[in-house]
Amino acid sequence: MKIAEKFSSVQPSSADGLDSGGESDLLSLAPPLRSPVSSTIRRRFRIGQYLSNIKFLVLIVTIYVLLHLLPRHHASKQIHETNRSVVLLWNEHNSSQAGEDYIQCGCRITSNRKYAQSLIEAVVVHADRPYSLDGLENIEHTPDYLVVFTSKTPVNPNESPITAKNESVFNFTMTYRLDSDLIWTDFYFYKTKVDFNRQLAFDAPDENFMEKLSSFAATELRSKLNAKNRLILYMMYEVNANTLAESLYLEQIREYAELDAYASCQKNTHCIVYHFMLVFESSTCPDYLNPQFFMALTNYVVPVVLGGGDLSHIAPPGSYISADDFYSPQQLVSYLKHLSVNPHKYEKLFWWHFKYQLNKISQHYCALCRHLQQTQKHAHTKKFVQWWSRYQCPNRSEVWSWTLHPLI
């Protein structure tokens, strides 16, 4: 019997339902047929559900991993910060930065004497500024910490850091002196395309350097030198009994040449129009060079050094003029005028541009930080006493005695 015929033979027992026999026949009917389209849709639905479950599981795992790793990353950053060497600036002159920390070359630099996040590895004392070491014993420091004697200028010998017992709290030096543990200056020369170390021995001047410069470098240098139309300038200073020698010498110079004075050349391009700058040095302390010397060179002005010591190991020969080489101010001025009207001779004073570059140090504590990162810090208290005792600077009167009388 066909399904349709069997279904039509079933009669309901009443209007509200079926009798027992009809119900039995309905239960014996075959299930409805499913179309191929319906089956495909179901399979896709199940696959979609499966993929959604996988995505949800991946999302849960990702969130778990992130929540698990973020605290570890923060902890590792804290460990990294804790492992930094800490340098304490004992007498920071800039009060606006007092207590503020900053990172320099892997070290944390602070002027906060109550710094408690880590032990201090080095205390830097600027000896060319007023200072007192009271309270140094309260600093939380490492067992082998350094107490660094720091100075960019000669220190008054009357302000000796040596005690009556021939002892000192300092065990490390960082000064302009070449026999320091670390040399500390604002500028230094290094050979171009060779190395970046401070130069201790310079080559002789090269008279044919212009031919060896690139055409661009030669043209640029000549354009700066050709723009000069003034002879001499000097930096203003406080006129008092201590500067009497400078004043007397300038008075003699003015008899033979016009002099202009400026407060600084650091941010003023007008200095480049001068051929020469008078640089007065009141001492002949070994290894020291007046910052005005570098101020002149960075502005393409030739420094004329009056006083001072041996500069042969500090600056390239032929890059400056020494007043000691002339018998009188008149003779010096005559030579300067001669150079100013002979461009070929004047440009030879810039020969060092071919072999050297003048580098300005912007991060002064990098060398100290690199030293602290070494295994051995080489702190020597006894060595400091010897270092300080053997260094002698002539008195000012000895240096300038030749200017205190008229020169013929």
End-to-end Cα spacing for the chain? 149
Nearest to 235 by CA among 318, 148, 155, 296: 296
Helical (H) or strand (E) element with 70 = helix 36-82
Residue-wise pLDDT for 203-226, tens only, equals 899 989 999 999 999 999 999 999
- Which one has a higher pLDDT value, 122 or 49? 122
pLDDT value, residue 3: 43
pLDDT value, residue 351: 95
User: What's the pLDDT score for residue 51?
Assistant: 63
User: What is the C-alpha separation between 301 and 293, in angstroms, rounded?
Assistant: 9
365 pLDDT exceeds 70?
A: yes
With a CB cutoff of 8 Å and minimum separation 6, the contacts of 282 are 245, 307, 396, 399, 400
Confidence (pLDDT) at 67:
61
**What separation in angstroms does the CA of 224 have from each of 68, 283, 345?**
62, 32, 15
Give the three-class secondary structure for 188. strand
Q: Check whether 197 has a pLDDT greater than 70.
A: no
Q: Per-residue confidence at 64, pLDDT binned at 50, 70, 90?
A: low
Q: Indicate the length of the chain as a whole number.
A: 408
Enumerate residues 6+ apart whose C-beta is below 8 A from 202. Answer: 189, 312, 313, 315, 316, 317, 352, 356
Residue-level pLDDT at 391:
79
Give the pLDDT confidence of 126-175 residue by residue, as tens digits: 998 889 999 999 999 999 899 999 999 888 777 889 888 888 999 999 99
Report residue 12's pLDDT band, with 50, 70 and 90 as the boundaries.
very low
Taking residues 347-365, what's their average pLDDT? 89
Q: What percent of the chain has pLDDT over 70?
A: 70
127, 160 contact by CB (below 8 A): no
Q: Is 148 helix (H, G, I), strand (E, B) or coil?
A: strand
> How many contiguous H segments (helices) and E segments (strands) does the chain have?
12, 14
Q: Which fold has domain 187-360?
A: Rossmann fold (3.40.50)
* Among candidate residues 139, 137, 138, the one with its CA nearest the CA of residue 121: 139
pLDDT of 81 above 60? no
Q: Tell which wins on pLDDT, 89 or 402.
A: 89
Does residue 404 contact residue 142 with C-beta atoms inside 8 Å?
no
Q: What whole-number distance in Å separates Cα of residue 361 and Cα of residue 369?
A: 14
How many alpha carbons fall within 13 Å on the CB side of residue 147? 17
> What is the average pLDDT score of the chain?
78
Distance CA 237, CA 301 (A): 19
pLDDT of 384 strictly over 70:
yes
**Structure token pair of residue 42:** 């179901």
- Per the CB < 8 A criterion, the answer to whether 82 and 91 are in contact is no
Q: Residue 399: what pLDDT?
A: 46
Asked if 299 and 289 count as a contact pair (C-beta separation under 8 A), the reply is: no
Question: What's the pLDDT at 49?
Answer: 64
Q: What is the pLDDT of residue 44?
A: 56
pTM of this prediction exceeds 0.85: no
In terms of Cα–Cα distance, which of 82, 83, 147, 87 is closest to 120? 87
104-113, 194-203, 260-269, 292-301: range with lowest mean pLDDT: 194-203
Contact assessment for residue 183 and residue 198, using Cβ atoms and an 8 Å cutoff: yes
Split at pLDDT 50, 70, 90, the class of 274 is very high
Judged against a pLDDT cut of 80, whether residue 266 lies above it is answered with no
The DSSP secondary structure of 193-238, one letter per residue, reads TT--SPPSS-PPP-TTHHHHS-HHHHHHHHHHHHT--EEEEEE---
DSSP string, 238-280: --SGGGHHHHHHHHHHTTTS-EEEES-SSS-GGGGGEEEEEEE
More confident position, 179 or 267: 179
The pLDDT of residue 300 is above 60: yes
State yes or no: pLDDT of 118 exceeds 80.
yes
Domain boundaries, the chain: 85-185+379-389, 187-360
DSSP 32: P
The pLDDT of residue 26 is 42
Cα–Cα distance for residue pair 150/159, rounded to 1 Å = 14
Write down the pLDDT at residue 20. 44
